[in-house]
Chain A
Amino acid sequence: MGDDALVLSHRLGEWAGHAPVLEEDVALANIALDLLGQARMLLSFVGDEDQLAYLREERAFRNVQLVEQPNGDFAHTMARQLYFSVYQHLLYEELAAGEGEFADLAAKAVKEVAYHRDHAEQWVLRLGDGTTESHERMQLALDALWRFTGELFEPVEGIDIDRPALRDGWLAAVTSVVERATLAVPSGPQSGAWAAGAGRQGLHTEPFGRMLAEMQHLHRSHPGASW
């Protein structure tokens, strides 16, 4: 969960200064910052946040492949946001209601995540039901990222929740938004030949290594330094 938030935060941070309108520069940075906050809390549960973020190699990261996907165009970023924020919202709601070790943290984060979900839904509606071009781009983006969504519902050690129920809730919510946006829910498989659960086992897609090289370079160049 911490790696999911850390990696998606990094990707959203790449938008800074590149967004289609100033309001989105603010919104995307805001979401990135929320996710980074969540990542820091979650990583600190396990150990030293900087050691975990900067000194692990690709094969030791446990994030889902969805969040490491490159930003692409604005529609790709919003498709990734829709898929992930709906999942994260449902997951955190359930964890917040339970008594597990993440209950307090989830209770705090669920408010942020509800905002991320609303932001993504509003944009999927606007792009899907906007112009012909935006409709096509949004559909392409939903289709392209669909195969990374199956992984969201693979069992995770230490998090005891009803994964099939989570998947049903997620599918219903995503279907509702996609249909209101006059788009079609992608029909292909929700995972590649061996991709489902791969990120959780440290098997990632090729762009991820390059992302880590950039993220970790400075920290690794000065071993033991404090910043």
Chain B
Amino acid sequence: MAAVTADQTTQGTAGTAEEAEAAHLAAFDAAVAADDRIEPRDWMPEAYRASLVRQMAQHAHSEIIGMQPEANWISRAPSLRRKAILMAKVQDEAGHGLYLYSAAETLGTSREELLDKLHAGRQRYSSIFNYPTLTWADVGAIGWLVDGAAITNQVPLCRCSYGPYARAMVRICKEESFHQRQGYELLLALSHGTPAQHEMAQDAVNRWWWPSLMMFGPPDDASAHSAQSMAWKIKRHSNDELRRRFVDICVPQAQALGLTLPDPDIRWNEELGQHDYGEIDWTEFQEVLKGNGPCNEQRLTQRRKAHEEGAWVRDAAAAYADKHSARSGTAGATAQPVEATA
């Protein structure tokens, strides 16, 4: 975007600073209205920056906490092929976390700062990862439903107004779609397998269906950030709109799997051309958000433990880098960037 240069705001009197602020805001609003991408060096309202940091941090945290419920089954995967697929998926999730922390860092925060906030319980991750993976079929249900819901949410983010976030989402969505198909295929193998496998698959879908619908967030009339995020084109669709789109996608997929969705109120609404579905248990959703879900404590404790137990390794790497850059005659780990010496 074409932004007014920053020193105009610092040189004038209070009056002209306000005018400059207004000019910045007008340029920003025009860029958003024209569907231009906002880039890291561009001026942006502080609330836009804060809102993006919040959302991107939560997204990054979800990727790394989300490794836990699936990694829970790596050591027990029932065939070597499935084990390889699951390991690759968990590896991708760590990679997605890395992309997203990098994208968030363009807004002037750091991975360390964001992780500290996660560990202190001051930033959230997706409520879905507070549910336990009790059987192998849960790995498939997560692929099909949880990744499916994530994709429905994230594809519109590929057109988000903030450039680095939008570009990260393009890469992430490609890999997520692949995982989603693999999860569906896993469930398909179970639902057409032995009666015990079929039952395992149905049980997993029964437990993951409602939590997956909750991934779209509170209903539109109770969503605190939605209106502003949509005005800034961070979000493109409302929570309820995306949730309904997801239900419409899942109903025929469940039929193809030979499994049922645990909602007797799902039926095709001829008039609206979409599915109606039953009432979500918003009390449960609020409890999970407050930290009272089945695995909240366990997930955060494991994350903190990995971080704390790894501190000596990170310290060693930093000490080694300092010693070796000092020995080779440069100014240590805090050396000037290359541009500064050019």
Assembled-state Cα–Cα distance A133/B315 (Å): 9
**What string of 1s and 0s marks CB contacts (under 8 Å) between B85-99 and chain A?**
001101100110110
A14 near B310: Cβ-Cβ < 8 Å? no
| A196 beta carbon closer than 8 Å to chain B | no
- If A20-B306, A20-B309 touch, whether A33 touches B320 (CB-CB below 8 Å) is no
Query: Whole-angstrom distance from the CB of B161 to the nearest CB of chain A?
Result: 27
Q: Is the interface of B mostly helix, strand, loop or mixed?
A: helix
| A8 beta carbon closer than 8 Å to chain B | no
Set of chain A residues within 8 Å of B80, measured between Cβ atoms? 6, 36, 39-40, 43, 49-50, 53
A19 near B315: Cβ-Cβ < 8 Å? no
- If A13-B75, A22-B64, A225-B197 touch, whether A131 touches B94 (CB-CB below 8 Å) is no
User: A56-64, A141-149, A215-223: which lies at the B interface?
Assistant: A215-223
**A interface bracket (residues with beta carbon within 8 Å of B):** 35 or more
Residue of A nearest to B193 (CB): A225
A25 near B91: Cβ-Cβ < 8 Å? yes
| B6 beta carbon closer than 8 Å to chain A | no
Number of residues on chain B facing chain A (CB within 8 A): 49
**What string of 1s and 0s marks CB contacts (under 8 Å) between B124-141 and chain A?**
000000000000100000
Interface, chain B (partner A; CB < 8 A): 64, 67-68, 71, 74-84, 87-88, 90-91, 94-95, 97-98, 101, 136, 186, 189-190, 193-194, 196-197, 302, 305-307, 309-320, 323
Interface, chain A (partner B; CB < 8 A): 6, 10, 13-14, 16-26, 29-30, 32-33, 36-37, 39-40, 43, 49-50, 53-54, 73-74, 125-127, 129-131, 133-134, 137, 214-215, 217-219, 222, 224-227
Given A17-B64, A227-B136, 6 extra CB contacts under 8 A: A22-B94, A25-B67, A74-B313, A131-B312, A131-B319, A227-B193
Contact sample, A vs B, 29 pairs, CB 8 Å cutoff: A6-B80, A16-B71, A16-B91, A17-B64, A17-B302, A20-B309, A22-B94, A22-B97, A22-B101, A24-B310, A24-B313, A25-B64, A25-B67, A25-B90, A26-B94, A29-B88, A29-B94, A37-B84, A39-B80, A43-B80, A129-B320, A131-B315, A134-B316, A215-B76, A219-B78, A222-B78, A222-B197, A226-B79, A227-B193
